[in-house]
Chains A and B, each alone.
Chain A
Amino acid sequence: MAAKKPRKAATKRELAAAKDAIQEHTFSVLVDNEAGVLARVVGLFSGRGYNIESLTVSEVDQDAHRSKITIVTNGTPMIIEQIRAQLERLVPVHRVADLTVEGPSVSRELALVKVKGKGERRVESLRIADIFRAHVVDSTNSSFVFEIVGDTGKLDAFIELMEPLGLVDVSRTGVVAIARGSQDM
């Protein structure tokens, strides 16, 4: 793993360039997988009034006991800088990457989408699922559960199309993201 780079805070000019515009940012946070670490991160967001649009966490390195948390949040440039600095201040945090600004990245989300229906509506849901490359992971005479992977926008679009066809339930994982290219975190 790369060592933490020396930090430089933004200057007033850099902050003013995008003054007060609310931006969405995706943070990738590598942490020690220890008790309470998620509570620390979540508590930081709730305690300081930052937004969480999506949050995912899972162990990514069993031997080193490391987990990765992906957080989608939003705020003004000053708030975003604060979020980053506050995350870096947590003792179990190894590295914080703001994927939105640190070069290109990919992000994916998975959803399980349950649709109930018969006849033409059932066929139509299958046809749309095919276009979206969603898979059927469960089916009964009157229902399907589709698994779909993609970015948040694609999932939103799919779910919207399923609405009139008998959408009954949705579970989404939240966003996971990673930087493009050959570098580790």
Chain B
Amino acid sequence: MSTRRMIGGEIILKALADQDVDVVFGYPGGVTLPLYEKIGQQNRTEHILVAHEQGGVHAAEGYARSTGKVGVVLATSGPGATNTVTGLVDALMDSIPVVCLTGQVTSHLIGNDAFQEADTTGITRPATKHNYLVKSTDDLARVIHEAFHVATAGRPGPVLVDIPKDVILGEGAYVGPDDVEIKQTYKPQIRGDRKAIEEAVELLASAKKPIIYAGGGVINSGPRASRLLTELVDMTGYPCTLTLMGLGAYPASRAQFLGMPGMHGSLEANMAMYHCDVMVNIGARFDDRVTGNTAEFSPKSRKVHVDIDPSSINKNIAVDVPIIGDCASVLRDMLKVWKENKLKTDKAALKKWWARIDRWRAKDSYGFDQGPDIIKPQFALSRLNELTRGMDIHVTTDVGQHQMWAAQHLHFEEPNRWMTSGGLGTMGYGVPAAMGVQKGNPDSKVVCVTSEGSLLMNIQEMATIANYRLPVKILNLNNKVLGMIRQWQELFHGNLESECDLSGSPDFVKLAEAFGFEALTASRPDEVDDAIIAMLESEGPCFLNMGVDRFESVYPMIPAGAAHYDIVLGPNDQRAEVDDDDLAMASLA
């Protein structure tokens, strides 16, 4: 084992280089100054000076989700560290590998309420997958390498390393990643149990009304998992639905794709989830936004659940065949078992099942009416989808109505192309995430779909984007309102608009120009295509302010805690016309 003595700051940079880190998103401060001195003396790892540490974490998340690498953040002690908390929880909820290094006050001052001291490991303990306080420079390299391991192994997540100033300044031994004995306590199980896989495959083959329901675990498992999922879906001819986190894991353009399930999912996906007799969940987590009322969730199905995290299984929904393992590994084994046993699907039953699904699909539950005057946000997004077809494109979103419409109307053919804050639902995610995506994918068209409420939450990162000439495109679907709040107030809270109006927002065009963006506008349906094309073709950072219908609501909608058959379709609030037959069959079968 070769060791070299180095200064703490150098150890940090060497460890990052050995972890193949090309970029860190950071912001300096008193206790990290000695590290910045070293950063300024090297050019192996690029440092992006963000405008706010929360933006730094979201940028690291965007970078990680689009590249499959670890996103790295650097913040100072106290306020720098506390500013990262929302980003860390966001990464925790969506299982994104992020390593966040924070400075801490000098060791002997810890606990003294020193200037810019915060109990960072205490505050972030429930906000991270794991965190560390480094006590000595000799431990520094090992802890950083371990942090990268923990962030990526098994179900990924954020890991924070808190480093006191004296540890940065002190001298210690450097050990490389290969010389670090990774703690063997955190050992995720990759291979699924063979017996359970056989049982799952048999169940799958015996299905008369199957559905494959896949989620972000497939994306996290790497592109191979998406290929294997596609193979399984195509081989069986079964319908497939993908969660908000899983979009892109199966090509959206194929007929077997039913769209997204859940609160704002398609009628066909939700009805198929409700009526199916076999449900195979691969890397999704039966989130409450998907299940609605758990007591009424898919009551007649036998369920398989594949997840690398044992704590995801039987958390919300008890399943018949649990399989703990990595999605790619389990999918490969499932395909192998299917082929070895020469299994066949029940073609006749499947034909009937598809006929039913096609009847639900015929209702065109994502449909909308674009009139001549006001731009419908769905129209803008479906045009964006058309006009970017075949392009090398990545999309980030913020949180609200625009996010749900983007999930409905943008079609992803590949994984790692769609970045949205699913678990935490963090307004302010979109702009900094887009910055990170662009950093990791310099040649891609990176589009952030947002709306003015979310935009204002991390708008400061437009300065960073402009400063680094990152050609990010921001599409602001400006409805002058916290649209999702307005929608819930209309539907569930007495139809009273309370504190959601944003008509007093700033002039976003001027603001974008002040940040150094090219700024465009569109306010009529016939301007939409030209504006989107101009945005996509602009060389540098570009902002398109698109005035859209303030009163549009997202449909379909399953009210929170309701059952799937309570799905509400279309602007007239009618209940979905689910055949009475279907319901009767479901409750009798």
Q: Which of A4-12, A49-57, A109-117, A168-176 contacts B (4 or more CB under 8 A)?
A: A4-12
The answer on a CB contact under 8 Å between B322 and A8 is yes
Please tell me if the beta carbons of B318 and A16 are within 8 angstroms of each other in the complex.
Answer: yes
A15 in contact with B311 given A4-B187, A43-B126 (CB within 8 Å): no
11 contacts between A and B (CB under 8 A): A7-B324, A9-B313, A12-B320, A15-B318, A36-B133, A40-B125, A82-B315, A89-B309, A90-B130, A91-B129, A93-B185
A32 within 8 A of B: yes
Chain A residue with Cβ nearest B199: A11
Q: Judging by beta carbons under 8 Å apart, are A36 and B121 in contact?
A: yes
* Residue numbers in A under 8 Å from B186 (CB-CB): 91
Contacts of B126 in A (CB 8 A): 43, 47
B196 within 8 A of A: yes
Task: Assess the A8–B133 pair: CB atoms within 8 A.
Answer: no
Interchain CB contact under 8 A, B324 and A12: no
Choose one: B121, B130, B193, B314; the contact of A10 (CB below 8 Å). Answer: B314
Kindly state whether residue B417 has any CB partner on chain A within 8 Å: no
Give CA–CA (A36, B120) in the complex, Å.
12
B319 within 8 A of partner (CB): yes
In the complex the two chains form, is B122's CB within 8 Å of A11's CB?
A: no
Contact yes or no, B125 A39, CB < 8 A: yes
- Residue A75 interfacial (CB < 8 Å): no
B310 nearest in chain A by CB position: A85
Contact residues in A for B324 (Cβ distance below 8 Å): 6-9
Contact with B along A79-111 (1 / 0, CB 8 A): 001100110111111100000000000000000
| Shortest distance from the beta carbon of A68 to any chain B beta carbon, whole Å | 14
Residues of B within 8 A of A (CB): 121-122, 125-126, 129-130, 133, 150, 183, 185-187, 189, 193, 196, 303, 309-311, 313-315, 318-322, 324
What chain A residues lie within 8 Å of B185 (beta carbons)?
Answer: 32, 91-94
CA–CA, A13 to B320, complex, Å?
7
Closest B residue by C-beta to A35: B133
Q: What is the CB-to-nearest-CB distance from A29 to chain B, in angstroms, rounded to a whole number? A: 11
Taking CB atoms, residues of chain A closer than 8 Å to B122 are 36, 39
**Counting CB contacts under 8 A, is A78 at the interface?**
yes
Q: Taking CB as reference atom, which chain A residue is nearest B307? A: A9
In the complex, how many residue pairs between chain A and chain B have their CB atoms under 8 Å apart? 71
Across the A-B interface, give the 8 residue pairs with the lowest CB-CB distance, nearest first.
A9-B322, A85-B311, A12-B318, A85-B310, A9-B313, A91-B130, A15-B318, A91-B186
**Given known A-B contacts A4-B187, A85-B311, A12 and B193 have beta carbons under 8 A apart:** no
B121 lies within 8 A of A9 (CB)? no
**Given A4-B187, A36-B125: A78 in contact with B311 (beta carbons within 8 A):** no
Report chain B residues within 8 Å CB of A7: 189, 310, 324
Q: Which residues from chain B contact A91 at a C-beta distance below 8 Å? A: 129-130, 150, 183, 185-186
> Does B125 contact A43, Cβ atoms closer than 8 Å?
yes
CA of A93 to CA of B309, assembled, Å: 15
Given contacts A6-B193, A11-B319, A94-B185, contact A78 B125 (CB under 8 A): no
Knowing A89-B309, A91-B185, A92-B185, the reply to whether A9 touches B314 (Cβ < 8 A) is yes
Contacts of A82 in B (CB 8 A): 311, 314-315
Looking at B150, B196, B303, B310, which has the most chain A CB atoms within 10 Å of its CB? B310
Residues from chain A with a CB closer than 8 A to the CB of B314 are 9-10, 12, 15, 78, 81-82
Render A11-36 as a binary contact track against B, CB cut-off 8 A, 1 for contact.
11101100000000000000010011
B297 to chain A minimum Cβ distance, whole angstroms, is 13
Report the bound CA distance from A90 to B321 in whole Å: 25
Which residues of B lie under 8 Å from residue A4 when comparing CB positions?
Answer: 187
> Residue of B at shortest CB range from A91?
B130
Contact A11 to B311, CB < 8 A, known contacts A36-B125, A39-B125: no
9 extra A-B contacts, CB within 8 A, seeds A12-B314, A91-B186: A8-B324, A9-B313, A11-B322, A13-B320, A47-B126, A85-B310, A86-B311, A88-B311, A89-B311
CB-CB nearest in chain A for B135: A35
Bound form: Cα–Cα A96–B36 in Å: 42
Q: Is the CB of A9 within 8 A of B125?
A: no
A40 to B126, CA, bound (A): 8
- Which B residues are in CB contact (< 8 Å) with A43? 125-126
Taking CB as reference atom, which chain A residue is nearest B324? Answer: A7
Which residue of A36, A82, A89 has the most chain B CB atoms within 10 A of its CB atom? A89
| Nearest CB of B to A144, in Å | 41
Most buried by B among A7, A9, A11: A9
Chain A residues with CB under 8 Å of B318's CB are 12, 15-16, 78
Say how far B25's CB is from chain A's closest CB, in angstroms. Answer: 24
Q: Which residues of A contact B320 (CB under 8 A)?
A: 11-13
Residues A6 and B189 in contact, CB atoms below 8 Å apart = yes
**Which residues of chain A are near B130, meaning CB under 8 Å?**
90-91
CB distance from A34 to the nearest CB of B (A): 9
Q: Select one of B129, B189, B196, B303 contacting A12, CB under 8 A.
A: B303
Distance of B120 from chain A, by nearest CB (Å)? 11
Q: Is the CB of A10 within 8 A of B310?
A: no
Contact A8 B121 (CB under 8 A): no
A90 CB → nearest B CB, Å: 8
Q: Could you tell me the distance between the alpha carbons of A4 and B130 in the complex, rounded to whole angstroms?
A: 20
CB distance from A23 to the nearest CB of B (A): 15
Q: Given the interface contacts A36-B121, A43-B126, does A8 sit within 8 Å of B311 by beta carbon?
A: no
- Bound CA span A40–B186, Å: 15
* A89: B residues at CB distance < 8 A: 309-311
Q: In the assembly, what is the distance between CA of A50 and CA of B497, in Å? A: 38
Give Cα A60 to B444, complex, Å: 55
**A39 nearest CB neighbor, chain B only:** B125
Chain A residue contacts of B310, Cβ below 8 A: 7, 9, 85, 88-89
A39 to B121, CA, bound (A): 11
| CB closest residue in chain B, given A86 | B311
**A residues near B150, Cβ cutoff 8 Å:** 91
Q: In the docked arrangement, what's the CA distance between A16 and B320, Å?
A: 10
Listed residue (A12, A16, A86) with the most chain B CB atoms within 10 angstroms of its CB? A12
Q: Which residues of B contact A39 (CB under 8 A)?
A: 122, 125
List the A residue with the shortest CB-CB distance to B302: A12
A7: min CB distance to chain B, Å:
5
Measured CA separation A39–B131 after assembly (Å): 12
B residues in contact with A35, CB < 8 Å: 133
CB distance from B199 to the nearest CB of A (A): 10
Contacts of B183 in A (CB 8 A): 32, 91
Shortest distance in angstroms between B217's beta carbon and chain A's nearest beta carbon? Answer: 15
